[in-house]
Each structure stands twice: as C-alpha cells, then as structure tokens.
C-alpha cells in the first residue's frame, strides 16, 4: 500500500511512500482490538474510592449499654454498619484488582490492525518532515490548518522533540506521542494520524523486532 506525502504547507508532493505490508496490511479482527483496548483501559484505572469498614472506624471499644433490662435493642458496638457513623458494608476498597493480562503478540497484532484501518480510510497523513523554530502553539496550529485533517489528530514523532510536544499540548483534540510508545487506545481515540515519514521506520524497528 502506498501513501501520499505532504509538506508542512499542506502541499501534496509528487513522491509517495510504500507502507510496510506487515504493519499496514493486516486483516481486521474487531474482537481482538476490543479486547486489547478494554485491557488498556482497565490497566490505566486508578482506585481512589475507599470506605472504612467496622474494623477501621473509631470508637466502639465497649458495649454501648448492657444487654438486658433497658428496653432497647441489644448492641455490641457503635461501629456496627446499622449505626450512624458506623462502618460501611460492602463499600469500595483499594485492594480490588482490575488489571488484565494481554500478551505482547496480541497487543502488537491489534496495533497493526488499527494502523491498517487508518491507512485504508485515508486517515494517515505522512509528512516529509515536521519541524518548527520555537515551541509556539500558533506555529503548530497553522500547520494543522493546512493539512487535510478534520477532527482530532494524533501526532506521531520518530524521536522526542520538546519543541513540538510543547507547541502541541495546548491545541484541543490533539496529542503528540513517540512512535515507539504507540498503543491501540491512543490510535482509537483520535480520527487522524499525522506522522513524519521517519516515524514509519521507527514503528517498523520497534514493533517488528519484538
């Protein structure tokens, strides 16, 4: 499969690039992609809710009143869940494990499937190069406005470039990511992929050698 190459001014160049068949021509398996995406979301989940059970709330060291003769119901502790300010029954705890195990082979296969889908839907924009002089949001916004991109976009960088990262992070519906850190969840979260042609080489070197 071949893809057109654009420059930063949004002009389509005469040359084109041949996309690696092993990455950009993989048969889609929606169930696998869904499984990997769900696993990634589960692994990113942070457990912040915590309720105290009856062993953790303060007080209740002695019986609130004697067992018989008061005319009231018997109670053993004010920490009981039926008491106000008592412990919580079946409340959220921090020892819950949501992590899901996904093999490296499955993650890689799903990644290639999503990249293939983006390429076939013409939502893969390859640039001859991507450079700006200073980390200014306006410079990156001007580049995006000239490219045939409608909607959210993920900028895939071949190597770390603080200038582009800083200039991109204040633009809505836009994120920059290193090619070696690509994952299914990020690819599915954005409509278009914008990448310099060197990023394709980095993707190939990173994921085909695993």
User: pLDDT (tens digit, 9 = 90+) per residue, 110-150?
Assistant: 999 999 999 999 999 999 999 999 999 999 999 999 999 98
What are the distances in angstroms from CA 53 to CA 57, 64, 111, 205?
7, 19, 43, 51
**How far apart are alpha carbons 185 and 114 in whole angstroms?**
10
> For 139-188, what is each residue's pLDDT tens digit?
999 999 999 998 899 999 999 999 999 999 999 999 999 999 999 999 99
The domain limits of the chain are 2-45+100-207, 46-97
Neighbouring C-beta atoms of residue 182, cutoff 10 Å: 21
In terms of Cβ atoms closer than 10 Å to its own Cβ (0-12, 13-18, 19+), residue 204 is middle
Residue 15: pLDDT above 90? no
CATH assignment, 2-45+100-207 = 3.40.1370.10
Average pLDDT over residues 201-206: 92
Q: Are 89 and 58 in contact (CB under 8 A)?
A: no
Residue 210: pLDDT above 80? no
pTM for the model stands at 0.82
């Amino acid at each position: 499969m071949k893809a057109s190459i654009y420059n930063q001014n949004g002009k389509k160049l005469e040359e084109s690039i041949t996309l690696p068949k092993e990455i950009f021509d993989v048969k889609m398996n929606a169930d696998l992609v869904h499984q990997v995406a769900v696993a990634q979301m589960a692994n990113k989940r942070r457990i912040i809710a915590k309720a105290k059970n009856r062993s953790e709330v303060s007080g209740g060291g002695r019986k609130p009143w004697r067992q018989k003769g008061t005319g009231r119901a018997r109670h053993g502790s004010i920490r009981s869940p039926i008491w106000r300010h008592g412990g919580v029954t079946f409340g959220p705890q921090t020892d819950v494990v949501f992590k899901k195990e996904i093999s490296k082979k499955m993650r890689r296969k799903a990644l290639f499937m999503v990249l293939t889908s983006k390429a076939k839907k013409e939502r893969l924009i390859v640039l001859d190069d991507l450079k700006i002089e200073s980390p200014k949001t306006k410079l990156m916004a001007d580049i995006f406005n000239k490219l045939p991109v409608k909607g959210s976009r993920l900028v895939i960088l071949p190597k770390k470039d603080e200038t582009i990262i800083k200039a991109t992070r204040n633009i809505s519906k836009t994120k920059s990511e290193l090619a070696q850190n690509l994952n299914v969840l990020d690819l599915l979260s954005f409509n278009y992929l914008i990448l310099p042609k060197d990023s394709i080489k980095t993707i190939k070197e990173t994921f085909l050698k695993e």
